[in-house]
C-alpha cells in the first residue's frame, strides 16, 4: 500500500505550492521518510520541494512517461512512508491534468481553495469538485487558504460541515512566494527565508489535521509493477553534467537513471576553469542563463574548453539554457554578451514559449537513431536568429498540430530548446 495524497487546486495561484511546502517540512520534522512529486514538467516547484524537504522531488508527466507512468511513481514512492504530489494548474485543467494523475494512481485529493473574499459560496465550489471526483471513486479533502479572520473561518467551517476540511492557512504576506516574468523565484534567490519556512511549518502543525493526512493512501496495488524502462544505448562510461545556479533544470528521474548506468560528475560553467577529467560526454541542461549572462560570458577559460570539446568532435548534448550558452552571442537589456560560439546563433529576449513537444529526429546522432521520436517540453523567453544557415535535425510538433524545425548539430554536438523528459520512445 502506498500512503500519500495529491495537493490540487481550483486554479493556478490558489496556494498549492505553499501548502505543499508547509506539509513537506512539517512531516519531515515528524521524522517521516517523505517523497515529494510534481505533476508535469515544471522544474521550479521541484527545486522548492528539495530545498524544503532535503529530498529530490520527482516529476510525474503523463505526456512523456505514458505507459511507464506508474512504474516511475512506484520506483520512488516505495522508498517512502508517505508521498506528497503537488498538482499543476486547476485540478481538471489540461490534457494531462492532475485529475488524470489522481485517476491513474488512485490517490485522494487535497483540494486547496483560495477563500479570500468569499464565505458561503465556497460550498458550491466544493460540491462541484466532489461530484466530479465521486464518479471516479476519488476521495476529496479540503484546505482553505487565505482565511482572513477567526470569524471568517467559522463561517467557512459551518457552510462546509458536510465536507472533510483538513486544514487552513491564514492570509499572511509571509505565505506568498513572489513571481517574476520568468515564473516563481528559485530557492537560491533567497526570497522565501528559513524564518518564513519555520513559521509556515508551525502554522501547518497548528491548523492542520496531520494525523488524518498520514492515513491517506492509494487504492491501487503497485507491488506488481516493474522497473521503468530507460532506453539510452550508448557506450559512455563517464558523463559531465553542468550544475550550478545557471544550469539547474534537470529531472531527478533522469539524473538517477544516468547515475545507475554511468559515472556522473558535475561541473560549473559559471565558476569552474576546467572540465572534469576522463569524461565521454558533456550534458548542459536548462536554467536561467540570462540572469547570470555577464558572469558566464566572463568565464572565457571554460568557454574555450567547451568550444575545443565541440571542435574536436566529442559528444555534447545541450537543452534550452545549454543551447543559449553554445550560441555566438546573447542580447540582454540592450547589451551583447559573447557565448561559447559553437553555433552561429544570436539569442534575443522574446515572449514566453511554453508547451509539450513531440520531436522526430531527422538525422543520426550519437544520442538518437534517425527517425526516433521522443517527447519533451519548452519553457523559455528567448528566440534564435541564425547568423548563418544551419541544418535542422528536429521536426517538432506541439499539441495543437503546429509543426516547425529546430535542433542544431555540429559534429557531435546537439543543441535544442526542447527539454527531454524521458528516454522512452513511443515508436519503439
pLDDT tens, position by position, for the chain (428 residues)? 899 999 999 999 999 999 999 999 999 999 999 999 999 999 999 999 999 999 999 999 999 998 889 999 999 999 999 999 999 999 999 999 999 999 999 999 999 999 999 999 999 999 999 999 999 999 999 999 999 999 999 999 999 999 999 999 999 999 987 765 556 577 776 777 889 999 999 999 999 999 999 999 998 888 766 777 666 667 889 999 999 999 999 999 999 999 998 999 999 999 999 999 999 999 999 998 998 999 999 999 999 999 999 999 999 999 999 999 999 999 999 999 999 999 999 999 999 999 999 999 999 999 888 998 899 999 999 999 999 999 899 999 999 999 999 999 999 999 999 999 986 554 43
CB atoms within 10 A of CB 183: 16
CATH no. of 4-213: 3.40.50.300
Residue-range domain boundaries for the chain: 4-213, 238-420
| Residue located via cell numbers 497548528 | 206
Nearest to 151 by CA among 119, 127, 173, 121: 119
Q: Which three cell numbers stand for residue 31?
A: 521524522
Find out if CATH 3.40.50.880 is the number for domain 238-420: yes
* Cell output for 43: 522544474
Grid cell 512506484 in the structure block, residue? 74
- 4-213 and 238-420 have identical folds: yes
User: One of 14, 248, 315, 320 is an active-site residue; which one?
Assistant: 320
The pTM is what? 0.95
215-240 confidence digits (pLDDT tens): 999 988 887 667 776 666 678 899 99
Catalytic status, residue 224 = no
Do 329 and 337 touch, CB atoms closer than 8 A? Answer: yes
**Are the beta carbons of 297 and 339 closer than 8 angstroms?**
yes
Q: Pull the grid cell for residue 179.
A: 513571481
Q: Do strands 373-386 and 419-420 pair parallel, antiparallel, or not at all (unpaired)?
A: antiparallel
125, 10 contact by CB (below 8 A): yes
Amino acid at each position: 500500500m502506498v500512503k500519500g495524497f495529491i495537493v490540487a487546486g481550483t486554479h493556478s495561484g490558489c496556494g498549492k505550492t505553499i501548502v505543499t511546502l508547509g506539509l513537506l517540512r512539517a512531516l519531515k520534522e515528524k521524522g517521516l521518510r517523505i517523497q515529494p512529486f510534481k505533476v508535469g514538467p515544471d522544474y521550479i516547484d521541484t527545486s522548492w520541494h528539495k530545498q524544503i524537504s532535503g529530498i529530490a522531488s520527482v516529476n510525474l508527466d503523463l505526456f512523456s512517461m505514458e505507459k511507464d507512468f506508474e512504474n516511475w511513481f512506484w520506483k520512488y514512492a516505495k522508498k517512502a512512508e508517505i508521498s506528497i504530489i503537488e498538482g499543476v494548474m486547476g485540478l481538471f485543467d489540461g490534457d494531462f491534468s492532475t485529475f488524470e494523475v489522481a485517476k491513474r494512481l488512485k490517490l485522494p485529493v487535497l483540494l486547496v481553495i483560495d477563500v479570500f473574499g468569499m464565505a458561503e459560496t465556497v460550498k458550491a465550489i466544493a460540491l462541484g469538485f466532489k461530484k466530479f471526483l465521486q464518479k471516479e471513486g476519488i476521495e476529496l479533502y479540503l484546505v482553505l487558504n487565505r482565511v482572513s479572520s477567526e470569524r471568517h473561518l467559522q463561517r467557512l467551517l459551518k457552510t462546509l460541515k458536510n465536507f472533510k476540511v483538513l486544514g487552513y492557512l491564514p492570509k499572511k504576506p509571509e505565505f506568498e512566494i513572489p513571481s517574476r516574468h520568468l515564473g516563481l523565484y528559485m530557492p537560491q534567490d533567497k526570497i522565501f527565508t528559513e524564518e518564513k519556512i519555520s513559521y509556515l511549518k508551525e502554522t501547518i502543525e497548528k491548523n492542520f489535521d496531520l494525523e488524518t493526512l498520514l492515513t491517506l493512501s492509494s487504492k491501487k496495488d503497485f507491488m506488481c509493477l516493474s522497473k521503468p524502462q530507460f532506453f539510452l544505448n550508448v557506450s559512455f562510461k563517464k558523463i559531465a553534467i553542468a550544475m550550478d545556479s545557471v544550469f539547474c533544470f534537470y529531472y531527478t528521474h533522469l539524473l538517477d537513471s544516468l547515475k545507475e548506468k554511468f559515472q556522473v560528475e558535475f561541473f560549473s560553467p559559471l565558476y569552474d576553469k576546467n572540465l572534469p577529467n576522463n569524461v565521454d560526454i558533456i550534458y548542459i541542461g536548462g536554467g536561467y542563463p540570462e540572469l547570470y549572462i555577464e558572469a558566464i560570458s566572463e568565464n572565457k577559460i571554460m568557454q574555450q574548453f567547451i568550444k575545443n570539446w565541440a571542435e574536436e568532435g566529442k559528444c555534447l548534448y545541450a537543452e534550452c539554457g545549454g543551447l543559449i550558452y553554445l550560441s555566438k552571442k546573447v542580447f540582454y537589456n540592450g547589451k551583447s554578451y559573447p557565448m561559447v560560439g559553437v553555433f552561429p546563433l544570436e539569442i534575443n529576449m522574446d515572449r514566453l514559449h511554453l508547451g509539450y513537444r513531440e520531436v522526430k529526429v531527422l538525422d543520426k546522432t550519437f544520442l538518437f537513431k534517425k527517425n526516433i521520436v521522443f517527447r519533451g517540453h519548452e519553457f523559455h523567453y528567448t528566440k534564435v536568429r541564425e547568423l548563418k544557415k544551419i541544418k535542422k535535425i528536429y521536426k517538432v510538433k506541439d499539441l495543437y498540430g503546429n509543426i516547425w524545425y529546430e535542433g542544431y548539430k555540429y559534429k557531435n554536438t546537439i543543441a535544442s530548446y526542447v527539454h527531454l523528459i524521458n528516454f522512452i520512445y513511443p515508436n519503439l
